[in-house]
Amino acid sequence: MGNSIQESTKLIKKVSDEIHTGIIGQIDLVEGLLLALLADGHILIEGVPGLAKTRAVNLLANICKVTFKRLQFTPDLLPADIIGTRIYNQSTASFETKKGPIFANFILADEINRAPAKVQSALLETMQEKQVTIGDETFFLQRPFLVFATQNPVEQEGTYPLPEAQVDRFLMKLVVTYPTMVEEQNIVKMVIQETKLPSVRELITPSEILTLQDSTMNVFIEDKLIKYITDIVFATREPEKYGLKLGSLIQYGGSPRASIAMAMTARAKALLDGRDSVYPEDIKAVAHNVLRHRVIPTYHADAEGITSDQMIQEIMGKIKVP
């Protein structure tokens, strides 16, 4: 087993290096994409426009020999534009199913919060069920099936915030920040020399992605680390029991899906680092990305300017590491 872990780590490292040939900096973003790939989970990427969110996903899709569709979300989009519809064919005098762009391995849902709730829920249903119903027919989506959704920070006008219950479908939420001065200078140099996306090598097939996901499932996680994970998640729901004064600041804590996501992502992190078992450091490394969209601040917390990340930081500092 150790050998397959080492082989998996070597392959994913190659993919990471290849992405970085076309992107400057953004190490956390690239690692987040790879963790989602390994853990077979969808990912929400938030950041102001122009921070290479779309570029990173495009590069990953080009490196993987997968079918890839980009959906630009707009306020006038309809669910049928994503999942497909039934169309009447005059020559055969019958209805035919026209499949939508959701039938691909990787979906880039760009600016997901620009589309109304009906469209968001159509996408999120396919993410959860991995199937699509058009008319009275149900179609299973091919594996691997991963949705990479980007969103602008919600303060911007013309956006529809994703409902809390639906955001929970995302394994992780990454927050992309501005590059450093040196990184930005290098970005400018790279883009003015080559305006289109750089060509990257195709390094990995869909079946190899599924094998990597199986390797991730084989990473060992001790019971005491599962208890550590559930303690962290329970502290988001019942902070007083853990001696945390966050009761008036957290409206909703993480669901059991948060605990599962943290265990899955910690396994992926261990594999990424070439190990066949999870360490407490893996859990700490993924906690913010897994929990930040699941710990919902109250109005009082918002008014005080206290963010989910600050509360997660406090919880992580309080829960005893096994």
- Quote the percentage of the chain above a pLDDT of 70: 97
88: buried, middle or exposed (CB in 10 Å: 19+, 13-18, 0-12)?
Answer: exposed
State the pLDDT at residue 92: 85
**Amino acid (one-letter) located at 41:** G
User: From residue 175, how far is each of 30, 51, 207, 289 by CA, in Å?
Assistant: 12, 11, 30, 8
Query: In this model, does residue 160 exceed pLDDT 90?
Result: no
Query: In this model, does residue 88 exceed pLDDT 90?
Result: no
State the pLDDT at residue 214: 93
pLDDT in tens, 171-180: 999 999 888 8
- Angle, helix 280-291 to helix 256-272, in steps of 10 degrees: 130
pLDDT in tens, 234-269: 999 999 999 999 989 999 999 999 999 999 999 999
State the pLDDT at residue 157: 64
pLDDT in tens, 207-221: 999 999 999 999 999
Residues 6+ apart with CB under 8 A from 27: none
Whole-number Å distance between alpha carbons of 304 and 313:
17
Q: Which residue has the higher pLDDT, 283 or 97?
A: 283
State the pLDDT at residue 195: 65
State the pLDDT at residue 264: 97
Q: DSSP string spanning 205-253?
A: -HHHHHHHHHHHHTSB--HHHHHHHHHHHHHHH-GGGGT---TTTEEE-
State the pLDDT at residue 284: 97
Region 192-217 average pLDDT:
88
User: Would you say 218 and 277 are in contact if contact means Cβ atoms under 8 Å apart?
Assistant: no
Chain Cα centroid distance, residue 165:
15
Confidence bin at 2 (pLDDT 50/70/90): very low
User: Would you say 169 and 42 are in contact if contact means Cβ atoms under 8 Å apart?
Assistant: yes
Confidence bin at 118 (pLDDT 50/70/90): confident
Whole-number Å distance between alpha carbons of 229 and 206:
31
Instruction: Please tell me what DSSP assigns to residue 36.
Output: H
Helix segments in the chain, DSSP class H: 2-19, 27-39, 53-63, 79-83, 117-129, 164-167, 181-193, 206-217, 223-237, 256-272, 280-291, 299-304, 308-318
299: buried, middle or exposed (CB in 10 Å: 19+, 13-18, 0-12)?
Answer: exposed
Name the 3-class secondary structure at 72. strand
State the pLDDT at residue 121: 81
Domains of the chain: 2-190 (3.40.50.300), 219-318 (1.10.8.80)
Q: Name which of 38-52, 111-125, 213-227 the model is least confident about.
A: 111-125
Global pTM value: 0.91
Whole-number Å distance between alpha carbons of 216 and 321:
23
Cα 97-103-107 angle, rounded to 5 deg: 145
- Quote the percentage of the chain above a pLDDT of 90: 61
State the pLDDT at residue 166: 76
Query: In this model, does residue 233 exceed pLDDT 50?
Result: yes
Query: In this model, does residue 300 exceed pLDDT 50?
Result: yes
State the pLDDT at residue 96: 86
Cα 170-53-287 angle, rounded to 5 deg: 40
pLDDT in tens, 53-66: 888 999 999 999 99
